[in-house]
């Protein structure tokens, strides 16, 4: 079989050329594709009775992919809507779950600091035609952030469930005793749901999930969507645009680290052999992408 027909070559091109160069995706997206491909390869190996080194691109035909989706839905317990993502959702059948879901949605959409989240009051929200929130940042500086319709709907439903006067000063996010959440309370909520998600996505288990990670993620996603750094600065309440520019530099460094992690080290005098010929173990190479410590946690602004 010619080397050019091997699956390894196609995967190498997909990760190193398409995702990184053409799509310019984030390291988190790279890891998401890696997790999906690991499951697909293991399913194909079992279905076809081949070792991973024997798989070729043609083995991942329509019938294999459809069988894989059916496997995710019926054997792994993923719903049709979430079988490709494979992440556990927050149980919204309870008041606690509905609070947590609204909190995470608000934190991601606004990029608010944890202190800004726990200080949010009903009177800071405008949830009618032009939904927005007034956030009080460091030094009591005020900024207005528009809200997505879905985020506004979640907050509106939560306020109505708690029978809170929308014009009053009641705190939005409270604990089971009705008192405002603490910083540690928010951290506990995020860690709890991260543990649940880790059952379906094991790479989450080794990561420190905390409020600033959500703030950072929102900033990086905004950059990837083409939002101007000055707009992101105003949205996050940064004092200086230089703080926002750190996200741009960090995003590129994270991407470089994630891609470097897939490639085995090579001595200076070793022949320049394509990666798919040097290491035939595709699963090992895919797993290597997630071995580095999450770069976000120690370098986030």
Between the alpha carbon of residue 39 and those of residues 29, 36, 52, 208, 239, the distances in Å are 16, 5, 12, 24, 44
Q: Is 99 a catalytic residue?
A: no
HSE-up of residue 160 (Cα within 13 Å, Cβ side): 7
Check 9, 34, 86, 113 and give the catalytic one: 113
Check 212, 221, 246, 299 and give the catalytic one: 212
- 153 neighbors 101 (Cβ within 8 angstroms): no
Q: Is 113 a catalytic residue?
A: yes
Check 138, 179, 195, 291 and give the catalytic one: 138
- 247 neighbors 301 (Cβ within 8 angstroms): yes
Check 34, 86, 99, 215 and give the catalytic one: 215
Q: Is 251 a catalytic residue?
A: no
Check 98, 99, 238, 285 and give the catalytic one: 238
Q: Is 212 a catalytic residue?
A: yes
Check 247, 251, 255, 285 and give the catalytic one: 247
Give the strand pairing for 125-126 and 142-146: unpaired
Assign 190 to helix, strand or coil.
helix
Q: Where does residue 189 rank: exposed (0-12), middle (13-18), buried (19+ CB within 10 A)?
A: buried
* Residues noted as catalytic: 113, 138, 212, 215, 238, 247
């Amino acid at each position: 079989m010619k080397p050019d027909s091997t699956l390894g070559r196609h995967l190498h091109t997909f990760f190193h050329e398409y995702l990184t160069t053409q799509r310019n995706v984030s390291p988190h997206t790279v890891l998401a594709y890696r997790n999906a491909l690991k499951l697909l390869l293991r399913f194909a190996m079992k279905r076809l009775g081949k070792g991973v080194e024997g798989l070729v691109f043609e083995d991942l035909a329509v019938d294999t992919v459809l069988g894989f989706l059916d496997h995710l839905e019926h054997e792994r317990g993923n719903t049709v809507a979430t079988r490709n993502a494979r992440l556990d959702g927050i149980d919204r059948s309870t008041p606690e779950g509905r609070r947590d879901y609204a909190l995470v949605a608000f934190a991601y959409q606004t990029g608010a600091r944890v202190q800004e989240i726990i200080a949010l009051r009903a009177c800071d929200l405008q949830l009618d035609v032009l939904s927005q929130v007034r956030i009080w940042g460091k030094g009591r500086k005020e900024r207005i952030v528009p809200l997505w319709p879905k985020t506004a709907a979640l907050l509106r439903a939560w306020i109505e469930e708690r029978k809170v006067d929308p014009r009053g000063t009641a705190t939005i996010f409270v604990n089971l005793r009705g008192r405002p959440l603490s910083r540690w309370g928010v951290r506990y909520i995020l860690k709890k749901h991260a543990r649940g998600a880790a059952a379906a996505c094991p790479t989450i288990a080794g990561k420190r999930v905390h409020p600033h990670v959500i703030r950072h993620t929102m900033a990086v996603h905004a950059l990837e969507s083409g939002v101007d750094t000055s707009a992101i600065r105003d949205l996050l309440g940064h004092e200086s645009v230089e703080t926002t520019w750190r996200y741009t530099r960090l995003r590129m460094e994270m991407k470089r680290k994630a891609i470097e992690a897939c490639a085995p080290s090579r001595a200076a005098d070793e022949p320049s052999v394509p990666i798919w010929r040097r290491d035939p173990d595709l699963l090992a190479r895919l797993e290597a992408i997630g071995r580095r410590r999450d770069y976000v946690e120690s370098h986030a602004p």
